[in-house]
């Protein structure tokens, strides 16, 4: 893993663009970022021997089956039914990169596939920027995105994403890291708490159903009291309580040995994926990761919000600023 305030070459993508790795250190954490997808490649906590995320030692896996691992996804995270929506009376068609009929994470060439520019980097903070042009993956408007990663202290990883546009568009980014809090352990054995009274039921293509949102009460999606995750399968959006735009604690994961991850955010939704369908991967330092090896905790707008006027809006207009704050706090 690269050291603090270190900038080094990490390889080149298929079109020849260079990927850089940025090393940060602070507050008991060490982290490596890649300009490819503005992704967290490695994350370590002092006193813990293993990586806290599923990452890769080389660029190749990120160009193949690990395309979303650790990356910022967008310009619209999660799914858009029918690969399209209507905005201000105009029909918009977006890249149908999932099942040939819906859009996932902004399309096949979304933010996770882009080379972000390094605006600044010091010992504990890096600022990356991205320009998504009008019409990119079908989305309207030129979009300028800034992602600030920082290690401010107390075992906390802070991520702030801001975006502005020159025409009405939709905007929802998410950090798609897979947290591996146990070295070789299973997510199923970890304890989960979520501050959410409702969730979004989905159909067989992972699109929210007409009756969404639904109460978690009496379902297997009720994690308002901490309990074991198990293997029933989680790949759902939770409709977070107190979604008034303020930063608040929304989820906690605790592993049997006591390591804990708390997430704070200002977003209305949290997609949790238990990696049940993850194929076997070779991760950092040759570690093997299969199903249930890591958990994704993706703070974001609600999926398919662009087609659901009853969901919190994801529309961004000129003169407005999209803001997304998330904090990952590790304790032992």
Active site residues: 176, 298
260: exposed, middle or buried (Cβ count in 10 Å: 0-12, 13-18, 19+): middle
3-state secondary structure 74-126: CCECCEEHHHEEEECCEEEECCCCECCCEEECCCCCCHHHCECEEEEECCCEE
The answer to whether 166 touches 142, Cβ cutoff 8 Å, is yes
287 is in an annotated binding site: no
120/34 Cα distance (integer angstroms)? 14
219/24 Cα distance (integer angstroms)? 41
156/27 Cα distance (integer angstroms)? 7
64 is in an annotated binding site: no
274/165 Cα distance (integer angstroms)? 34
Residue 202 token pair? 């989905």
235 is in an annotated binding site: yes
Smallest CA-to-CA distance from 298 within 138, 105, 131, 97 is with 105
Q: State phi, psi for 116 to the nearest 5 degrees.
A: -80, 150
170/48 Cα distance (integer angstroms)? 40
177 is in an annotated binding site: yes
Residues of each annotated binding site for beta-D-galactose: 78-79, 176-178, 235
Q: Could you tell me which residues are annotated as the binding site?
A: 78-79, 176-178, 235
């Amino acid at each position: 893993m690269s050291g603090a305030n270190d900038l080094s070459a990490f390889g080149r993508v298929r079109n020849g663009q260079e990927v850089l790795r940025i090393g940060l250190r602070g507050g008991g954490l060490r982290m490596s970022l890649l300009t490819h997808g503005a992704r967290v490649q490695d994350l370590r906590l002092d006193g813990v021997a293993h990586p806290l995320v599923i990452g890769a030692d080389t660029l190749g896996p990120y160009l193949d089956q690990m395309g979303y691992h650790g990356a910022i996804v967008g310009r619209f995270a999660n799914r858009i039914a029918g690969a399209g929506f209507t905005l201000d009376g105009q029909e918009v068609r977006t890249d149908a990169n999932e099942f040939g009929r819906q859009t996932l994470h902004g399309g096949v060439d979304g933010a996770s596939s882009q080379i972000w520019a390094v605006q600044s980097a010091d010992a504990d903070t890096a600022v990356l920027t991205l320009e998504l042009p009008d019409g990119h993956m079908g989305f309207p408007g030129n979009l300028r995105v800034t992602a600030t990663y920082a290690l401010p202290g107390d075992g906390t990883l802070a991520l702030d994403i801001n975006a502005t546009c020159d025409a009405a568009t939709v905007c929802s980014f998410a950090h798609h890291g897979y947290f591996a809090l146990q070295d070789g352990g299973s997510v199923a054995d970890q304890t989960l708490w979520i501050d959410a009274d409702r969730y979004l039921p989905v159909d067989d293509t992972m699109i929210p159903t007409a009756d969404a949102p639904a109460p978690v009460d009496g379902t297997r999606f009720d994690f308002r009291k901490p309990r074991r995750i198990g293997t029933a399968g989680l790949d759902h959006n939770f409709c977070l309580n107190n979604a008034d735009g303020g930063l608040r604690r929304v989820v906690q994961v605790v592993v049997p040995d006591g390591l804990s991850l708390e997430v704070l955010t200002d977003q209305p939704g949290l997609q949790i994926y238990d990696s049940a369908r993850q194929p076997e991967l070779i991760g950092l330092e040759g570690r093997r990761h299969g199903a249930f090896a890591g958990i994704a905790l993706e703070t974001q707008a609600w999926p398919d919000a662009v087609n659901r006027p009853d969901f919190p809006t994801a529309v961004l207009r000129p003169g407005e600023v999209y803001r997304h704050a998330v904090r990952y706090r590790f304790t032992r």
